Structure 1
Amino acid sequence: MMPAIEIALPLLALWALAGYLLGSVPFGLVIARALGLGDLRAIGSGNIGATNVLRTGSKPAAAATLILDSGKGAAAVLVARALAGEDAGQIAGLAAFLGHCFPVWLRFRGGKGVATFLGLLIALAWPLGLAACATWLVTAAVTRFSSLAALVAAALSPLWATLLGRPDTAALLMALALVVLWRHRENVARLRAGTEPRIGRKTGR
């Protein structure tokens, strides 16, 4: 008989592929086009996420994008976990996040992954997800910077995981936080320069 690890690795690879393909669906781009809002890549920051959809002036479109982008991260975790266990759930969630950030359909130029990140956190452990969402909301309410809120929520997520009894997810969350930081590197530069747009602006980068 083949060792269990040799059997498990191909299955985990399949879950990673499934998670990636699910995560790579550019819901923001699809919704904006369906509603006649234009090509998101030519609007505001050029990002395909909910924050840039909001810059079109359509709050319903932004809300739908937020729900679907977070939902695909949660779905990847929940389905993989239910069918193949916790390891598969974490791998599928990571892959969905990477799929959103680097979708093959858009030449690997995707979103910044915040909604997908929060969605998969809620699916991994809802107290952890709620803590991260609360961190985002408080930071956004105080500073009015969506990017800064995302960075703070991602950076603190490994700490929340440790405090809330899910240290087994800390390594995954550290990896996700590093990708979030990398995807927001231009935002960090604008924050330092004082040119980062605040939440609610329809135009600008």
Structure 2
Amino acid sequence: MKMILAIALGYILGSIPFALVIGKVFYHTDVRKYGSGNLGGTNAGRVLGKKVGAIVILLDALKVVLAMGLACQISVSAGIWAGTACCIGHCFPVFAHFKGGKAVASSFGFFLSLWIFIFHDPRYFLLPLLMFLVVLYLFKFVSLGSICALLFSALYITGTVWNIADLSVIAAAWIMTILVIYRHKANIGRIRSGTENKISWL
């Protein structure tokens, strides 16, 4: 029962659409009607400005940290699955007709939580972040950097977690990787056709 409650808590926290809330409350703008239509930090930044985008990214990451921090009081597995549910909730939020973001910031919230609550090792957060920044610098695609970061993280976790009791974190890492790739399927198509937007500030 506690595990179910932890997962439910994670999903509910993940469903909080900060891009939508900030856009409507402070800017009287529904970001779903502009840009890519996604409720994530990238689209919020594109529509409302870089400052808002950064705030949304931070809040989307921190909601996962909160979910995992609370659920880890029950057990490590509860924390892992609460974090996974939070990322799923971000993509399919009950408070926004199940149309949310792409789980990139929330995935980094998961990586940060692995460092803080699970492994106490900064590499679980810093190495995927480095992969994201390197790919972003080389190719100028946020979507490609995000996908590569998730793939790297899943491979790194798979290669470094040997305790059978921690196998849930491997499963969670691959679930989130598949989720992020699925949410970026349109971006992948645009990259292949040469029509994906590149960042201009790097």
Indicate whether the TM-score tops 0.5.
yes
Is 2:118 aligned against 1:122? no
Equivalent pair of 1:74/1:121 in contact (CA under 8 Å): no
Whether the 8 Å CA contact 2:23–2:48 is kept in 1: the answer is: no
Match of 1:50 in 2: 41
- Match of residue 11 from structure 1: 2
The alpha carbon displacement at 1:164 in A equals: 4.8
Q: 1:147 aligns with which of 129, 140, 143?
A: 143
* Structure 1 segment 13-162 matched on structure 2, within 5 A: 13-36=4-27, 38-56=29-47, 58-81=49-72, 83-125=73-115, 126-162=122-158
Match of 1:56, SS state, is helix
1:195 matched to 2:186? The reply is: no
Task: State the partner residue of 1:181.
Answer: 181
Structure 2: gaps spanning 5 or more residues: 116-121
Query: CA offsets per residue over residues 100-153 of structure 1, 9 Å max, x none?
Result: 000011111110000000111110123211111111111111111000001101
Q: Measure, in 1, the Cα distance between the counterparts of 2:32 and 2:162.
A: 37
Sort the Cα spacing of 1:166 and 1:120 in 2 relative to 1 into closer, same or farther, 3 A. Answer: farther
Deviation (angstroms), 1:187: 0.6
The alignment partner of 1:55 has SS state of helix
**Hey, what does 1:7 align to over in structure 2?**
none
Unaligned runs of 5+ residues in structure 1 are 1-9
In 1, are the aligned partners of 2:92 and 2:99 still within 8 Å (CA)? yes
2:119 paired residue number: none
| 2:199 partner SS | coil
C-alpha distance in structure 2 between counterparts of 1:189 and 1:22, whole Å: 31
Divergent runs of 4+, >6 A = none
**Percent identity between the two aligned chains:** 36
Output the TM-score relative to the length of structure 2.
Answer: 0.89
Distance 2:64 2:149 in 1: 16
User: Residues 35 and 200 from structure 1, CA distance in 2 versus in 1: closer, same or farther, beyond 3 angstroms?
Assistant: farther
Deviation of 1:186 after TM superposition, in Å, equals 0.6
Rg (Cα) greater in structure: 1
Instruction: Report how far residue 92 of structure 1 moved.
Output: 0.4
TM-score, normalised with respect to structure 1 = 0.88
Amino acid at match of 1:157: S
